[in-house]
Amino acid sequence: MPQILNGNQVRDQIKAECLPRVERVVAHAGRPPGLSVVLVGNNPASEVYVRSKTKTAAELGMHSETITPEAKITTEGLLELIRELNARPEVDGILVQLPLPAHIDSQKILLAVAPEKDVDGFHPCNVGLLSTGRPGLRPCTPAGVIQILKRYQIPISGKNAVVLGRSDIVGKPMAMLLLHENATVTVCHSKTRDLPAVCRGADILIAAIGRPAMVTAEYINPGTVVVDVGINKIESRAEAEKIFDPSRMAAFDKNGSLLVGDVHPGDMARLASAYTPVPGGVGPLTIAMLMSNTIESAERRTGLSS
């Protein structure tokens, strides 16, 4: 039987470790770590995600606020808001929820966030710190993947790791973090020749391609550790029937949809030695690492750590 890498359990461990860190910041600085989330317009999926972030912050005794400019705000108007947040001493972390409306220059906005408050780890300064192995704020999802591998004692050093996807948010930082753990890393993408064969060479396969159940049996060598970063909503019954076994279709009929990762769930469970389920794998760790990053920023900014 393969080992199921339970992200909810790891999330709870990380949250438990965050509690005394928050208490130390309060004792030292007289205030809790502060997180400001900027949510532009009305995106239902983003609103759900932001509520989860603020709920988790409250559970940990942190201060959080959600700022909700109207969708018609201009790039300059949003830049002014970011400048105000940069200047507020009680704000340790600034998170701009993506995607932004099409008329806003997202790159300008993300560049405007002060690097020391960039708890998403997207600013070029933090990307550079990651690339050179210096301390800094790491992108939350890739950092969560490393945590789940380490806490389940999955060996990384000396292993062949294949990262399927080259996004700035997951693929590229994931490759860097694996390199820092002494893995031999291959980054794949849509132009990679004989993609299934390259993936079959992995001891650890990280799928972050954004295509539902694309990674099938031909990509997975028996015994591979598979980490599925994808979260895709299947709303077509015909498509669901191609992916899920009949026992899951009752849940589809009840809810009208099912979540699936980038890896075919049946093939993954049959061939992997260990794998992250979807949901309940990598997803819960993203918010946990966001909280950890915000506390880390507060620790640095209040002089608790260098």
Whether 30-116 and 140-282 share one fold: the answer is: yes
Q: Compute the C-alpha angle 231/235/240, nearest 5°.
A: 85
138: pLDDT strictly greater than 70 = yes
Strands of the chain, DSSP E: 3-4, 34-38, 63-67, 93-96, 160-164, 184-188, 204-207, 225-228, 232-234, 258-260, 274-275
Cα gap 118→45, rounded to integer Å: 22
SS3 207: strand
In the residue annotation, 267 being an active-site residue is answered as no
Q: What residues contact residue 250 under an 8 Å CB cut-off, 6+ apart?
A: none
Q: What residues contact residue 133 under an 8 Å CB cut-off, 6+ apart?
A: 180
**CB contact at 8 A, 110 and 254:** no
Question: What DSSP line would sit under 99-149, residue for residue?
Answer: PPPTTS-HHHHHHHS-GGGBTT--SHHHHHHHHTT-S-PPPHHHHHHHHHH
Largest CA-CA distance found in the chain, in angstroms, rounded: 57
Predicted model pTM: 0.95
**Domain residue extents for the chain:** 30-116, 140-282
**CB contact at 8 A, 177 and 142:** yes
- Out of 97, 117, 147, 172, the active site residue is 97
**Cα 188 off chain centre by:** 19
- Out of 53, 117, 159, 172, the active site residue is 53
**CB contact at 8 A, 192 and 164:** no
In terms of Cα–Cα distance, which of 52, 47, 18, 19 is closest to 279?
A: 52
> Which fold does the domain 30-116 belong to in CATH?
Rossmann fold (3.40.50)
- Out of 92, 118, 120, 203, the active site residue is 120
**CB contact at 8 A, 225 and 204:** yes
User: Which pLDDT tens digit goes with each residue over 227-269?
Assistant: 999 999 999 999 999 999 888 888 998 999 999 999 999 999 9
Q: Which CATH architecture has domain 140-282?
A: 3-Layer(aba) Sandwich (3.40)
In this prediction, residue 306 carries a pLDDT of 64
In the residue annotation, 105 being an active-site residue is answered as no
Q: Hey, which residues does 275 pair with through a beta bridge?
A: 4, 226
User: Which pLDDT tens digit goes with each residue over 190-230?
Assistant: 899 999 999 999 999 999 999 999 999 999 999 999 999 99
Residue 2 is given by DSSP the state P
User: Which pLDDT tens digit goes with each residue over 29-88?
Assistant: 999 999 999 999 888 878 888 899 999 999 999 999 999 999 999 999 999 999 999 999
Residue 175 C-beta-side C-alpha neighbours within 13 Å: 18
In this prediction, residue 36 carries a pLDDT of 97
Cα gap 40→17, rounded to integer Å: 32
Residue 85 C-beta-side C-alpha neighbours within 13 Å: 30
Tokens 């509690």 locate to: 19
In this prediction, residue 194 carries a pLDDT of 97
Element (H, E) at 75: helix 75-87
In the residue annotation, 120 being an active-site residue is answered as yes
**CB contact at 8 A, 269 and 222:** no
